[in-house]
Amino acid sequence: MNLICETQVVTDYLNMTAEVDYDHPLIVGLASELAASSKDQVDFIKQSYVYVRDQISHSWDIKSSRITCSASETLIYKEGICYAKANLLCAILRREGIPTGFCYQRLTIGDTPDTGYCIHALNAVYIQQLDSWIRLDARGNKPGIQAEFSLEVEKLAFMIRKEYDETEYMTIFKSPNAKTIEALKTNTDCINMYLYGLPEHL
């Protein structure tokens, strides 16, 4: 997997932003708690990933109308779509000094092209002991979706189906895509946003 960094300045992947607000007390506390229970850096990354994947509900899966955006908001309400969950995982990892970025896929909203397309967000994390980046998808598992933490082979939530004109974006971005954040901030109902209000292209 030939991932491409948007910037070669590694500290750009440690920045705090309005969405990646890792100075929030709840994120500070969670990151410290996860770090304290981890045996090493890789274990911390895995624990953080599993926490966001399993403990933060995907809003669509629970049929919630609530829209969360920032990492802290996502943690407070324990829910969000992939954009919000990616913000939270990024914040937890950056809080502990681990370079983390954002990656994207263009997927069909349903199972076929006639359902339309949307941009899906996941994270890329720098693994120091491997001197390389890996992608992690904390969307949340359910029947038909089984993403896992792995250093050897990617186990993401979605496989790209080129015959459906789905797309793999290989760039590791330092900040969340502006279109994804705009969707979270301008919509008022998550179900409606998920069906009709997500960006189709970066």
Q: Are 103 and 169 in contact (CB under 8 A)?
A: yes
Listed in sequence order, the residues at least 6 apart from 65 whose beta carbon sits closer than 8 Å to its beta carbon are 189, 190, 191
Alpha-carbon distance 104 to 85, whole Å? Answer: 13
Domains for the chain: give ranges and CATH numbers.
4-196 (3.10.620.30)
Q: Are 90 and 100 in contact (CB under 8 A)?
A: yes
Q: What percent of the chain has pLDDT over 90?
A: 96
Provide mean pLDDT across the span 184-201: 96
Provide mean pLDDT across the span 54-66: 98
**What's the pLDDT score for residue 97?**
98
Whole-prediction pTM = 0.97
